[in-house]
Structure 1
């Protein structure tokens, strides 16, 4: 489940760079996903 969310966020982030849509929101979501991923890796 977590990998799916990270993959979707990365895809949307790349599309955002290509078409310059939703600027800061995508970056914030990507940072949140990265923090959640790191927290889950540390707890495992």
Structure 2
């Protein structure tokens, strides 16, 4: 179960970073948002 939560967090962080990158958000902002809350950032972008 821990592995599932870990990989879900990693995949959602990558997806959120990609969506932010496509919007033209600066890399520093992307990094700070995705590291702080990867799942929340993904939900916000979707």
TM-score norm. by structure 2 comes to 0.47
Q: Find the structure with the greater CA-based Rg.
A: 1
Instruction: Return the structure number with greater relative CO, CA threshold 8 A, min gap 6.
Output: 2
TM-score norm. by structure 1 comes to 0.48
